[in-house]
Amino acid sequence: MKTYLKKDFPVSEIRRFLEPGPIVLLSSRWKEEQDVMTMGWHTVLEFSPSLIGCMITSSNHSFDLIRKSKECVINIPTVDLLETTVKIGNCSGTEVDKFAEFGLTAQTATKVKAPLIKECFANLECRLKDSKLVSSYNFFIFEVVKAHAPKTPKYPRTFHYTGDGVFMLSGEHVSKRKFFKSEYL
Amino acid sequence: MKTYLKKDFPVSEIRRFLEPGPIVLLSSRWKEEQDVMTMGWHTVLEFSPSLIGCMITSSNHSFDLIRKSKECVINIPTVDLLETTVKIGNCSGTEVDKFAEFGLTAQTATKVKAPLIKECFANLECRLKDSKLVSSYNFFIFEVVKAHAPKTPKYPRTFHYTGDGVFMLSGEHVSKRKFFKSEYL
């Protein structure tokens, strides 16, 4: 598996990785237990503070760990991890240790106890900011308190889910900067 | 501009278009006024009822029209509309009639008063379901009450924003269906 040389990355700029809508891996820890889950339902909500909204189905083992610890890490996998990510989403943390089962390396984070996944392109350390919509929609609002990403490549090659087992792989990047007002960049 | 031959599309299956995370055009109407805005911060929240969460900046003219009418249409543009979509996001509905300015055709919707944009690949008619997080995060939860999309192509060629004027264009689609448990498809 690929690994990336990551540096500190400004938390106010993580839209670069999340706004295009990739499938992510959420890692969590509560006491001695850790888990990983696959997630596709998320949105950026604010630049500063850096806020992300995530819908986490309550039947996931991770749901409990995140609810209790009020923390998680959003990890951005690239296409070399596509099959692994699908397999992670199709088994339960109550049955298998997903880090061991899928050969993932849990690294110590800086500001949260949930582990970073070394093999992912970027790691976003998150603290629960608002749980007002958790009981009605399983919708968590997290603040990204620390981010890790490589300097290059600038854009990860991500995968995006369409349902029915089919993924869209990210394609080319094009700049339309000349059509933007400077205050909207 | 392209146009698509659209049919009724099941509202419980609209993840196919939204979950990959494309930039969308929101159209709205209140009394005699209509507007269009460009939006990238949205997430699927539920299949049935078909729920979508959207962060709509309050400085948008559309914000008021949507808040008052409690309705909107989420339109999915394809890459032939990329420059138009950027231009729509860089001017205000208080200054220009965006339908006229950008040559868009407003079509009558079935269940809401907001117009469908004919030139977009798919149109999702939405009613406001929950405004609990509007005052704190400008976050609207809509229910998709009617959807229109072509039978083919199955997947639109969408564009996804990364910030700084740069867009990721959607790439190839791959099936990993064989790795899914049937209940997770």
Where b means 16+ CB within 10 Å and e means fewer, B17-44 reads bbbbbbbbbbbbbbeeebbbbbbbbbbb
Flag if B162 and A90 touch (Cβ within 8 Å): no
Write the pLDDT tens digit of every residue in A118-174.
999 999 999 999 999 999 999 999 999 999 999 999 999 999 999 999 999 999 999
Whether A81 shows a pLDDT value over 80: the answer reads yes
Domain assignment of residue B59, yes or no: yes
The whole-number pLDDT of residue B26 equals 98
Q: What is the ipTM of this complex?
A: 0.97
Q: How many domains does chain A have?
A: 1
* Span B106-114, average pLDDT: 98
Q: Which domain holds residue B139?
A: 6-184
The whole-number pLDDT of residue A2 equals 78
Flag if A43 and B53 touch (Cβ within 8 Å): yes
Selecting from A41, A162, A177 the residue whose C-beta is nearest the C-beta of B165 gives: A177
Domain assignment of residue B33, yes or no: yes
Query: Which of A19, A129, A169 best tests the B interface by mutation, with the highest count of B CBs <10 A?
Result: A19
The whole-number pLDDT of residue A96 equals 93
Domain assignment of residue A22, yes or no: yes
* Span B14-21, average pLDDT: 98
Q: Which residues of B touch A89 (CB under 8 A)?
A: 184
* Longest CA–CA separation in chain B, Å: 52
- Kindly indicate the confidence band of residue A185, based on its pLDDT and cuts at 50, 70 and 90: confident
Flag if A163 and B133 touch (Cβ within 8 Å): no
The whole-number pLDDT of residue A3 equals 81
- On whether the pTM is more than 0.95, the answer is yes
Give the DSSP per-residue string, A49-115.
TTEEEEE--TTSHHHHHHHHH-EEEEEE--GGGHHHHHHHHTS-TTT--HHHHTTPPEE--SS-SSP
Selecting from A19, A139, A167 the residue whose C-beta is nearest the C-beta of B162 gives: A19
| CB–CB contacts below 8 A, A to B | 192
Flag if A179 and B51 touch (Cβ within 8 Å): no
Cα nearest neighbour of B21 on chain A: A21
Sign of the CA dihedral running A114, A116, A117, A122: positive
Which backbone phi and psi does B65 adopt, to 5 degrees?
A: -65, -40
Write the pLDDT tens digit of every residue in B148-183.
999 999 999 999 999 999 999 999 999 999 999 999
The whole-number pLDDT of residue B3 equals 81
The whole-number pLDDT of residue B85 equals 98
Which backbone phi and psi does B177 adopt, to 5 degrees?
A: -55, -35
- Kindly indicate the confidence band of residue B65, based on its pLDDT and cuts at 50, 70 and 90: very high
Report the CATH number that the domain containing residue A73 is assigned in CATH: 2.30.110.10
